[in-house]
Amino acid sequence: MAAEPILSVRGLRTHFATRDGVVRAVDGVSFDVTAGRTLGIVGESGCGKSVMTRSILRIVDPPGRIVEGSITLRFRDGRAPVELTALRDDGPEIRAIRGKEIALIFQEPMASFSQYYTVGDQIIEAIRLHSDLDAKQARARAIAMLRQVGIPSAERRVDEYPFQLSGGLRQRVMIAMALACGPRILIADEPTTALDVTTQAQVLDLLRELRDREGLSIIIITHDMGVIAEMADDVVVMYLGRAVETGPVDAIFHDPKHPYTQALLRSIPSVDATPRSRLATMPGAIPHPLNRPPGCPFHPRCDRAKPGLCDRDMPEAVSLGEGREVACVLYGGAA
């Protein structure tokens, strides 16, 4: 019997009402997060990945708001599950969950840290917000967390400012702050952006080590299929606010079903490719959210689109068994 997920998202829709129209940034996404596993969310820039994870923590910037769906968090101590969409986004209930139960590693640490306070002060503030530790105890824990994420000379680094640290060290400090209060779910939003390949590998190794040692569940958001292959156990492939394919990582990579997933995988360079051959590309670009095509949003770029069907009807997700779902007419009754 499969373990009950600690986080369940069902039919989530987050829209932005603008003067030019409604932007459906997240348009009906469903997935589960299981204890000790990594969920990878992949797709091109602008497909709604970051908005979806911000919706979980109720930190979507105005005029964005959740208009439909449920986000259910289950606790390890037997407390009744909490429906996060029913909480006020500035209320004490969701503030107690942010950082304590679900933590977020932002995409760009330099823009996320205050430049006027030391990194230690900012970690200590997070610790004291969610615990009864005094200032001295919180500082000791902050230093211990910096050591845990592999920062050398933690006793000295704790009193440094973000601008004094390299990009890799800032990312490690961000991870330390996210883990300082012992969350069960860690959301990593493009954790390797703007890092060199060596530092990227170190950050991913650190996340994997922490997951295995602490029993964390990780949601990793990226547009890099290589990161997904290395880190994820389960995958959600998103396109223009919708989940077009979900399933275990091995199944997604070895037998992709949706034409968009197939196109993403074809675009990855391979050591087995013919020398000097051109990389496979995907025609066109992701449509503007205010100018969504009718029917399947991917059909203008799809080499398997069926006229009169794909350009008319929005495909519903179809279960293929073994935890796999795909939203494409090629696998539905209409095909």
What pLDDT, on the 0 to 100 scale, is given for residue 2? 58
Instruction: Please give the helix or strand (H or E) that residue 139 lies within, else none.
Output: helix 135-148
Alpha-carbon distance values, 9 to 23, 83, 172 (Å): 20, 10, 28
Of 68, 23, 66, which is closest to residue 46 (Cα–Cα)? 23
Q: Could you give the CA distance from residue 55 to residue 13 in angstroms, rounded to a whole number?
A: 9
Answer for the pair 249, 232: CB distance below 8 angstroms, yes or no.
yes
What pLDDT, on the 0 to 100 scale, is given for residue 254? 93
Answer for the pair 178, 122: CB distance below 8 angstroms, yes or no.
no
Question: Tens-digit pLDDT profile for the chain (335 aa)?
Answer: 457 899 999 999 999 999 999 999 999 999 999 999 999 999 988 889 999 999 999 999 999 999 999 999 998 877 899 999 999 988 999 999 998 999 998 877 777 788 899 999 999 999 998 888 999 999 999 999 999 888 999 999 999 999 999 888 898 898 899 888 889 999 999 888 777 888 888 888 988 988 998 889 999 999 888 889 989 999 999 999 999 999 999 999 999 999 999 999 988 777 776 777 787 778 888 888 888 899 999 999 998 888 888 998 889 899 998 889 999 998 875 44
Bridge partner list, 98: 102
Grouping H, G, I as helix, E, B as strand and the rest as coil, residue 332 is coil
What pLDDT, on the 0 to 100 scale, is given for residue 168? 85
Q: Could you give the CA distance from residue 285 to residue 252 in angstroms, rounded to a whole number?
A: 23
> What are the extents of the domains in the chain?
108-182, 256-331
Dump pLDDT digits (tens) for 222-281. 988 888 998 999 999 999 999 999 999 999 999 999 999 999 998 877 777 677 778 777
Dump pLDDT digits (tens) for 278-289. 877 788 888 888
What pLDDT, on the 0 to 100 scale, is given for residue 1? 45
pTM of the model: 0.91
Q: Could you give the CA distance from residue 251 to residue 236 in angstroms, rounded to a whole number?
A: 12
